[in-house]
């Protein structure tokens, strides 16, 4: 059976198993005996993320003959990432303003949810405070590590690892080949080994995905599934608006640009990237999905290692089209639910702040919600509004992470194609 079939099977069985467990009261069993296998799977994926970025980026760059190609690829990647994010936000604002999900939200629910989720919302607001307190160039400062080992010891420092790897790779290209050849060979060899490790971890993916989904359902439903249904029902229209935006990206936006610029059919593109999308759905983390995204882009879309190893890790950390769609729609939804009108200037502020906060959001579950505080603050909306959407955030996070990962694969294909590479589906 192909990997994607096995992953889907794991996902579906996990879903059904989770629902049954909730109804027959096996919540504790699932949390204690099933969910740990999902946690182990995510830990293994994260374990391999730093070595993978380090080794594949250095080995990719070391194959370049000069560094001008690297700056060209860098410029294009960053430019396309920002453009796709801004487009995503404009689409989201159009949807939120025409469908107006907040207008249908019952007033009494606003008060009820604000009270019920006040402490959860406060936690997110406190996390966002740390980001807000820093100066405008803090993001740039944070990219530069002052100690490599410190950076490598925390998966949140992905951009620092990318920075160091590029520096090391450029150093390798510029050094005398006589002296640096053994180092290059070593990195090529290490790269092979890491790719094998990713393959080994992927063998375990169906079980991991099963456990994650079952655990998630039990977690969401808690002890009283009816309570969950009454909480989520009024949020349905909001959730549908977000899902329409996300589906638009996957089924219309990316297919059009991918076909126009690379000639590859959407169906083939989807076949290549589908397992990564499923993993993104199960883990809600672009960082955890990164090893598989890179593998699929390189092996199944024929993108060179030098482009894959640069574009994908960077994308996992800064390119989040799904997150930005969610932020824009949520901001408008909360404003509408609070009865606050947004001016054109407010909408422009949303475009700017949602772009920046999706870049700043960490590639982990729930990060987008924390950064939403910044968007709300910029348009003068009470950040406690987060309480309205917290209950439904995880399922939406699963879906927006799928879009984030698809966006990274799309841009990797575009950049590779613009460098003269032939993008095609390979099994
Ligand atoms: N979970 C998302 C990701 O990892 C980030 C977010 O929107 O919360 O891509």
Residue 415 Cα to ligand 1 midpoint, Å, equals 23
Per-residue b/e over 135-167, b at no fewer than 16 CB within 10 Å?
eeeeeeeeeebeebeebbeebebbbbbbbbbbe
Counting atoms of ligand 1 from 1, which one is nearest the CA of 400?
7
Per-residue pLDDT of the chain (427 residues; tens, 9 = 90+): 788 889 999 999 999 999 999 989 899 999 999 999 999 999 999 999 999 999 989 998 888 877 888 899 999 999 999 999 999 999 999 999 999 999 888 888 888 888 888 888 888 888 887 776 677 788 889 899 999 999 999 888 888 999 999 999 999 999 998 999 999 999 999 999 999 999 999 999 999 999 999 999 998 887 777 777 877 888 999 999 999 999 999 999 999 999 999 999 999 999 999 999 999 999 999 999 999 999 999 999 999 998 999 999 999 999 999 999 999 999 999 999 999 999 999 999 999 999 999 998 889 999 999 999 999 999 999 999 999 999 899 999 999 999 999 999 999 999 999 999 999 998 8
Residue 127 Cα to ligand 1 midpoint, Å, equals 15
Residue 363 Cα to ligand 1 midpoint, Å, equals 5
Residue 358 Cα to ligand 1 midpoint, Å, equals 9
Counting atoms of ligand 1 from 1, which one is nearest the CA of 323?
7
Q: Whose CA is nearest to atom 7 of ligand 1?
A: 368
Task: Please give the radius of gyration of the chain, using alpha carbons only, rounded to the nearest integer.
Answer: 22
Pocket mutation for ligand 1, best pick of 85, 292, 368 (most atoms within 8 Å of C-beta): 368
Q: Which residues line ligand 1 (CB under 6 A)?
A: 284-286, 320, 323, 361, 363-368, 397, 400-401, 404
Pocket mutation for ligand 1, best pick of 42, 92, 246, 285 (most atoms within 8 Å of C-beta): 285
Q: Whose CA is nearest to atom 6 of ligand 1?
A: 368
Q: Distance between CA atoms of 364 and 362, rounded to whole angstroms?
A: 5
Three-state secondary-structure class, residue 264: coil
Check if the beta carbon of residue 151 is closer than 8 Å to that of residue 160.
yes
Encoded tokens for 277: 């999308």
Measured CA distances, 386 to 82, 112, 186, 375 (Å): 26, 13, 49, 11
Give the pLDDT score at 124.
85
Give the pLDDT score at 426.
86
Q: Tell me: the pLDDT tens digits for 291-315?
A: 999 999 999 999 999 899 999 999 9
Check if the beta carbon of residue 291 is closer than 8 Å to that of residue 198.
yes
Which CATH superfamily includes the segment(s) 3-418?
Sodium:dicarboxylate symporter (1.10.3860.10)
Check if the beta carbon of residue 246 is closer than 8 Å to that of residue 403.
yes
Q: Whose CA is nearest to atom 1 of ligand 1?
A: 365
Find the helix packing angle between 393-418 and 266-283, rounded to 10°.
140
Encoded tokens for 87: 């487009």
CA 192 to chain centroid, in Å, comes to: 26
Residues 6 or more apart in contact with residue 118 via CB below 8 angstroms: 384, 387
Q: Distance between CA atoms of 374 and 90, rounded to whole angstroms?
A: 18
Residue that the structure tokens 């406190």 belong to? 126
Give the pLDDT score at 299.
95
Residues 6 or more apart in contact with residue 151 via CB below 8 angstroms: 145, 157, 160, 161, 164
Counting atoms of ligand 1 from 1, which one is nearest the CA of 287?
4
Q: Distance between CA atoms of 11 and 6, rounded to whole angstroms?
A: 9
Q: Distance between CA atoms of 280 and 397, rounded to whole angstroms?
A: 9
Give the pLDDT score at 126.
83
Give the pLDDT score at 267.
93
- Phi, psi for 61 (deg, rounded to 5): -65, -35
Q: Distance between CA atoms of 399 and 393, rounded to whole angstroms?
A: 10
Counting atoms of ligand 1 from 1, which one is nearest the CA of 362?
5
Give the pLDDT score at 15.
93
Residue 35 CB neighbour total at 10 angstroms: 20
> Where along the chain do its domains lie?
3-418
Give the pLDDT score at 132.
67
Counting atoms of ligand 1 from 1, which one is nearest the CA of 369?
8
Q: Distance between CA atoms of 39 and 222, rounded to whole angstroms?
A: 19
Check if the beta carbon of residue 136 is closer than 8 Å to that of residue 24.
no
Counting atoms of ligand 1 from 1, which one is nearest the CA of 322?
7
């Amino acid at each position: 059976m192909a990997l994607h079939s096995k992953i889907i099977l794991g996902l579906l069985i996990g879903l059904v198993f989770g629902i049954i467990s909730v109804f027959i009261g096996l919540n504790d069993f699932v949390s204690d005996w099933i969910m740990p296998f999902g946690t182990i799977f995510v830990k293994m994926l994260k374990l391999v993320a730093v070595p993978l970025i380090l080794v594949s980026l250095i080995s990719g760059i070391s194959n370049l003959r000069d560094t001008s190609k690297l700056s060209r690829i860098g410029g294009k990647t960053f430019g396309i990432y920002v453009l796709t994010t801004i487009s995503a936000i404009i689409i989201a604002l159009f949807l939120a303003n025409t469908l107006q999900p907040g207008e249908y939200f019952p007033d009494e629910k606003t008060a009820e949810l604000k009270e019920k989720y006040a402490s959860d919302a406060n936690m997110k607001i406190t996390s966002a405070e740390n980001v807000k307190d820093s100066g405008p160039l803090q993001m740039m400062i944070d990219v530069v590590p002052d100690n490599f080992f410190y950076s490598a010891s925390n998966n949140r420092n992905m951009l620092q690892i990318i920075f160091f790897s590029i520096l090391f790779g450029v150093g390798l290209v510029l050094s005398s080949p006589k002296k640096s050849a053994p180092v290059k060979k070593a990195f090529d060899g290490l790269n092979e080994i890491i790719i094998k490790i990713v393959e080994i971890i992927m063998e375990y993916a169906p079980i991991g995905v099963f456990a994650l989904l079952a655990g998630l359902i039990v977690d969401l439903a808690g002890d009283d599934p009816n309570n969950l249904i009454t909480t989520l029902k009024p949020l349905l229209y909001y959730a549908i608006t977000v899902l329409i935006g996300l589906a638009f990206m996957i089924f219309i936006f990316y297919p059009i640009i991918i076909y126009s610029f690379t000639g590859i059919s959407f169906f083939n593109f989807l076949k290549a990237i589908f397992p990564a999308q499923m993993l993104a759905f199960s883990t809600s983390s672009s960082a955890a999905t990164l090893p598989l995204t890179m593998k699929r882009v390189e092996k199944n879309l024929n993108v060179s290692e030098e482009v894959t190893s640069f574009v994908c890790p960077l994308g996992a950390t800064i390119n989040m089209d799904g997150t930005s769609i969610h932020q824009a729609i949520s901001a408008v939804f909360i404003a509408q639910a609070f009865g606050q009108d947004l001016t054109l200037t407010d909408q422009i502020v949303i475009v700017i702040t949602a772009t920046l906060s999706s870049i700043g959001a960490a590639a982990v579950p729930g990060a987008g919600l924390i950064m939403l505080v910044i968007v709300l603050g910029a348009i003068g909306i009470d950040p406690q509004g987060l309480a309205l959407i917290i209950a439904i955030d995880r399922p939406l996070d699963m879906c927006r992470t799928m879009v984030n990962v698809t966006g990274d694969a799309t841009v990797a294909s575009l950049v590779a194609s613009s460098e003269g590479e032939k993008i095609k589906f390979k099994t």
